[in-house]
Amino acid sequence: NALQVALENQKRTDLLSNRSTYVYYPGQGHLPRDVTPNTANRSYAISAYVDRPSAKSDGVLVAFGSSGGGYSFFVKDGKLVFDYNTLGKHIVLTSDRNIPVGKAILRYVFTRTDNFKGTASLYIDAQKVAEQDISLPPSLFIAWEGLDVGRDALSPVSPLYANLGDFAFPTGALEKVVYEIKGQ
């Protein structure tokens, strides 16, 4: 049962389960699922520190999972996008404005309000640019492919860039990605 698997995943007792902050850098290899932040049914934030050299500087900031399930945080056509993929069904949040050229902190925040429910928000620097109340099916958290920073190296999480290869963020334009996990 998908709910049972998701709840068991939430109770992971691996070496990373007690951490609340994770920092990742572009250029690192693909990370297996078991050594990635556990966001299942928790409040969390993902912040990407970027320095976009042009308005056409698009690409994946961080992606977890595959075309069968997971999430991807990326820039497409100058807009900030977060795509939840649950067994091929997508919940997509897109900024209401373009990201400026230059330095910015791009942020996704999920605030849990109930089991597998919450408010998803996108920020460019400190300005909220999208918000949506969402219900996340437990199957969202059954992703096997792991985490990529600055690209989506294996099966693409989002169909919005599926025809663009690994949709890598421009070299040197992504400084780091920081996860902040709240609650257990």
Average pLDDT rounded to a whole number, residues 156-176: 97
Cβ-based neighbours of 70, under 8 Å, separated by 6 or more: 63, 64, 85, 140, 143, 145, 157
43-83 per-position pLDDT tens digit = 999 999 999 999 999 999 999 999 988 999 999 999 999 99
Task: State the amino acid at position 150 in one-letter form.
Answer: G
At 88, phi and psi to the nearest 5? 90, -5
Average pLDDT rounded to a whole number, residues 154-182: 97
pTM of the model: 0.89
pLDDT for the residue numbered 104: 99
pLDDT band at 5 (very low <50, low <70, confident <90, very high): very low
Q: pLDDT: is 100 or 143 the higher one?
A: 100
pLDDT for the residue numbered 1: 39
Q: How far apart are CA 67 and CA 85, in angstroms?
A: 7
pLDDT band at 84 (very low <50, low <70, confident <90, very high): very high
The domain limits of the chain are 2-182
- Report, at the CATH architecture level, how domain 2-182 is classified: Sandwich (2.60)
pLDDT for the residue numbered 4: 43
